[in-house]
Amino acid sequence: MPAAQHTKRVLILNGPNLNMLGVRQPEVYGRDTLDTIKAACTTFATQRGWTLDFRQSNAEADLVTWIQQAREGADAVIINPAAYTHTSVAILDALLLLETPVIEVHLSNIHKREDFRHHSFVSRAATGLIVGFGAKGYLMALSALDDATD
Ligand code: DQA
C-alpha cells in the first residue's frame, strides 16, 4: 500500500534583527520587509497545498525551542539564523536533532563580507545553502523543497 500522504509542513525561522528588514542596511539586505517576504512565501506554499509557519525571534532560546518542536511539527525547515549563524553552537545542536531537510538562507553573500561572517556553525546541519540572492533566496529555498518527499 502506498504510504499515507499528508500536507507538507514547512517551518521558516528568522533570527535577530530580521524584523528590521526594510530599514536595516537596505544597501546590504534590500528593501523588502519581513512581512513582504512572509507574504511571498505564503503564496508560494499555498499554491502547492503546503502549510507554512513563518517566525522571527531576536532570542536564541526561542529559535532553539522552535527547532526542537520541528522534530514533530515540520517536514522541512528553512532558517536564516542571522547573527547566530556565526556564534551559535546551540542552534547547530538543535538542527542536528532534525531528520528533515534543513536549508540555510542568507539575504547577503556572507562570503563577500567581513571575515567573521564567513564561518557558519549552522552549515554543518544544513542540507543546502542559499546566500546572496536577497529576499528571493527564501523562494529559492522553498522551490528546492518541491522535489523533497511529502
Ligand atoms: C544575514 C547575514 C548575517 O551575517 C547577519 O548577521 C544577518 C543577516 C543575511 O541574511 O544576510 O543578520 O543572515
Q: Give alpha helix (H) positions in 1-150.
A: 26-29, 34-47, 60-73, 89-96, 136-144
Domain spanning 9-148: which CATH class is it, in words? alpha beta
- Asked about 138 being catalytic, the answer comes back as no
Which of 106, 111, 118, 138 is an active site residue? 106
CB contact set of 35 (below 8 Å; sequence gap of 6+): none
Query: Annotated catalytic, 111?
Result: no
* Cell output for 25: 542596511
pTM for this model (two decimals): 0.94
Q: How far away, in angstroms, is 128 Cα from ligand 1 center?
A: 16
Q: Determine the residue of 23, 103, 117, 129 to mutate for testing ligand 1's pocket, defined as the one with the most ligand atoms within 8 A of the Cβ atom.
A: 117
pLDDT digit string (tens) for the chain, length 150 residues: 555 568 999 999 999 999 999 999 999 899 999 999 999 999 999 999 999 999 999 999 999 999 999 999 999 999 999 999 999 999 999 999 999 999 999 999 999 999 999 999 999 999 999 999 999 999 999 999 987 655
What single letter denotes the amino acid at residue 59? Answer: A
